[in-house]
Chain A
Amino acid sequence: MIRSAIRFVDERTGSAPLIRKVLRYAFPDHWTFLFGEIALYSFMVLVGTGVFLTLFFEPSLARTTYEGAYAPLQGVEVSLAYDSALRLSFDVNAGLLMRQTHHWAALVFIAAIAVHLMRIFFTGAFRKPRDINYYVGLTMLVLALVEGFAGYSLLDDLLSGMGLAIAYATTLSIPVIGGDVAFLIWGDQFPGADDFISRLFIAHVLILPVIIGGLIAVHLLMIALPHHTQFRGGGATERNVVGTPMWPGYALRSVGLLFATAGALFLLGGLIQVNPIWQWGQYEIYDGTNGAQPDWYMGWLIGALRIMPPIEPSVFGYTIFPNPFFGGLLVPGVVFTFLYMWPTIERRLARDREIHHLLDRPRDNPWRTAIGAALFTFITLIFLAGSADRIFVSFGIDYETQVWIFRVAVFALPAIVYLLTKRICEELRDTDWHPLREPPVMIARTPSGGFEGDGSAERPRDRAAAGGGRSRRR
Chain B
Amino acid sequence: MRVPERIVLALLLAATAAAATFAVAYALEWSTQVLGLALGGALVAIAAALILAGKRVAPGEEVTEQRPKLADPAEERQLELDIERAGEGVSRRGVLLGGAAAAGTALGGALVFPVASLGPKPGDRIGSSPWRRGTRVVGESGGRIAPDDVKVGTFVTGFPDGADQRELGSPVVLVRLRPDDLELPSDRSDWDAEGVVAFSKICTHAGCTINLYRYPLFPAQSPGPALVCPCHYSTFDPATGGNRIFGPAGRALPQLPLALDDEGLLVAAGEFSGPIGPSWWGVRKRDS
Residues of A at the B interface (CB closer than 8 Å) are 24-26, 93-94, 96-97, 100-101, 129, 162, 165-166, 168-170, 172-173, 175-180, 182-191, 193, 199, 225-227, 235, 238-245, 248-253, 255-260, 262-271, 284-292, 302, 305-312, 314, 317-320, 322-324, 327-328, 355, 357, 389, 399-400, 403
Contacts and interface: CB of A to CB of B under 8 A. Distances in A.
Given A270-B36, A327-B248, A263 B51 contact: no
Contacts of B280: 172-173, 178-179, 182, 319, 322
B140 to A, nearest CB: 8
A244 B121 CA distance: 59
B166 interface: yes
A267 B41 contact: yes
28 contacts: A94-B26, A101-B36, A172-B207, A172-B278, A178-B280, A180-B121, A180-B122, A185-B118, A189-B125, A190-B277, A191-B166, A241-B64, A245-B63, A248-B54, A248-B59, A260-B44, A260-B48, A263-B40, A263-B41, A263-B47, A267-B40, A270-B39, A285-B170, A286-B157, A288-B209, A308-B248, A322-B280, A324-B279
Given A242-B64, A355-B71, 18 more contacts: A24-B65, A94-B26, A101-B36, A162-B208, A173-B280, A188-B125, A242-B63, A264-B40, A264-B44, A287-B211, A288-B210, A291-B230, A302-B232, A306-B233, A306-B247, A322-B278, A324-B279, A328-B206
Nearest to B125: A189
Contacts of A94: 26, 32, 35
7 residue pairs, one from A and one from B, having the closest CB atoms: A270-B36, A312-B250, A252-B54, A263-B43, A256-B50, A267-B40, A169-B278
B284 A169 contact: no
A225 B47 CA distance: 28
Contact of B247 (A101, A189, A258, A310): A310
A226 B47 contact: no
Given A184-B115, A259-B46, A286-B165, A179 B68 contact: no
A189 B209 contact: no
Contacts of B119: 180, 183-188, 193
Interface string B150-190: 00000001010000011110110000000000000000000
Contacts of A173: 278-280
Contacts of A323: 205, 248-250, 279
Contact of B207 (A166, A226, A227, A242): A166
Nearest to B173: A286
A173 to B, nearest CB: 7
Contact of A312 (B44, B70, B232, B251): B251
A226 B70 contact: yes
Contacts of B168: 189-191, 285
Contact of A97 (B32, B165, B277): B32
B61 A245 contact: yes
B67 interface: yes
A420 B244 CA distance: 40
Nearest to A323: B250
B51 to A, nearest CB: 4
A380 to B, nearest CB: 19
Contacts of A271: 33, 36-37, 40
Contacts of B208: 162, 165-166, 288
Nearest to B206: A169
A64 to B, nearest CB: 15
A11 B208 CA distance: 64
B201 interface: yes
A240 B166 contact: no
B67 A240 contact: yes
A302 B279 CA distance: 17
Given A305-B232, A323-B248, A267 B37 contact: yes
Which of A266, A268, A286, A307 has the largest count of B CB atoms less than 10 A from its CB? A286
A97 B212 CA distance: 35
